[in-house]
């Protein structure tokens, strides 16, 4: 099977595989506050998964791969959720900008994304695209071996 890209792989399986790759690689800079921060004001508790920062970084990398340029504001809307307002109707609330900004900065440090001067926001680099496609190919190969 020739050119397998991120578009050809199930999102959940790809994000799991890429987050495991980022953790194994050990180059992604993790902020000190990851165990105490809430990812949105609509949440009551911080994430329960200890590796949530890697999962968020993998999801952001995939999101930027599928679209040309993405900024922090768009990622806030994507990762936001509905806020429970008691007896009043629930409304959408954006996610924390600081979390998404730090994820983008961490991905920038390892060379997966870069800033786009023309349009603003971030875009995927050549090496980042190559890494993501390689992980997608490995994920497809694992699925074929299981079948």
Q: Which CATH number is associated with domain 6-146?
A: 1.10.10.10
Mean pLDDT of 136-147: 89
Interval 100-135: pLDDT, tens: 999 999 999 999 999 998 888 999 999 999 999 999
- Decide if pLDDT at 1 tops 50: no
- Decide if pLDDT at 147 tops 90: no
* Domain residue limits, the chain: 6-146
Please give the model's pTM, rounded to 2 decimal places.
Answer: 0.91
Interval 50-70: pLDDT, tens: 999 999 999 999 999 999 899
In this structure, which long-range contacts are made by residues 19-24, counting pairs with CB atoms below 8 Å and at least 24 apart in sequence? 19/51, 19/54, 19/55, 19/57, 19/58, 20/54, 21/131, 21/135, 22/54, 22/57, 22/58, 23/51, 23/54
CA 114/CA 71 separation, integer angstroms: 11
């Amino acid at each position: 099977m020739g050119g397998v890209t991120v578009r050809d792989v199930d999102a959940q399986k790809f994000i799991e595989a890429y987050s495991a790759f980022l953790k194994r690689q050990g180059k992604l800079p993790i902020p000190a506050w990851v165990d105490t921060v809430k990812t949105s004001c609509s949440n009551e508790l911080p994430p329960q998964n200890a590796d949530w920062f890697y999962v968020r970084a993998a999801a952001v990398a995939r999101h930027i791969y599928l679209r040309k340029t993405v900024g922090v504001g768009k990622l806030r809307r994507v990762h936001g959720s509905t806020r429970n307002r008691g007896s009043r109707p629930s409304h959408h609330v954006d996610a924390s900008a600081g979390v998404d900004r730090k994820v983008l900065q961490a991905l920038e440090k390892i060379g997966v994304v870069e800033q786009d001067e023309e349009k603003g926001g971030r875009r995927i680099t050549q090496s980042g695209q190559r890494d993501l496609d390689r992980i997608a190919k490995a994920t497809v190969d694992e699925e074929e071996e299981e079948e």
